[in-house]
Amino acid sequence: MHRKHRLSKNEDYIKVYKKGKSLANRFFVFYIFDRKDAQPFRLGISVSKKVGNAVIRNQVKRYVKAVIENYIEAMPVGKDFVLIARNPANKINYHETKDAIGHLLKKSKVVDKL
């Protein structure tokens, strides 16, 4: 994922958590915050130590980044997103991750066409 699409500052994460809306499924919690500007979307990925060791956490993050890469063209501008992996996310493969994130994107109406 390109640097302009990354959420990096702690203040930005806090703002998304406090002022954003959230949706969830079994594997992920998805926060959405509308910045109301014309800048590209930004995504933050959070994977707790409860999910697994470093290898597992990094694998989950790689899967999430690969899935989001498929939707970059369809993602709206001026929004911040935070995707938090829940514990069952460590047991699913790439295709199940794609389905779970696609479900959240469709449910939140962030992406119309999948």
Closest by CA position to 111, among listed 64, 66, 63, 79: 79
Q: Is residue 113 part of a domain?
A: no
What was the pLDDT predicted at 51?
95
Asked whether the predicted pLDDT for residue 1 surpasses 80, the reply is no
What is the distance of C-alpha 89 from the center of its chain? 13
What was the pLDDT predicted at 14?
96
Q: Is residue 114 part of a domain?
A: no
Domain harbouring 94, CATH code: 3.30.230.10
Per-residue pLDDT tens for 58-107? 999 999 999 999 988 888 899 999 999 999 999 999 999 999 999 999 99
Q: Is residue 42 part of a domain?
A: yes
Radius of gyration of the chain (CA): 13
Residue 87 sits in which domain range?
3-107
Q: Is residue 35 part of a domain?
A: yes
User: Which residue has tokens 């829940």?
Assistant: 86
pTM (two decimals): 0.89
Give the count of domains, the chain: 1
User: Which residue has tokens 């994977």?
Assistant: 47
Q: Is residue 38 part of a domain?
A: yes
Which one has a higher pLDDT value, 2 or 83? 83
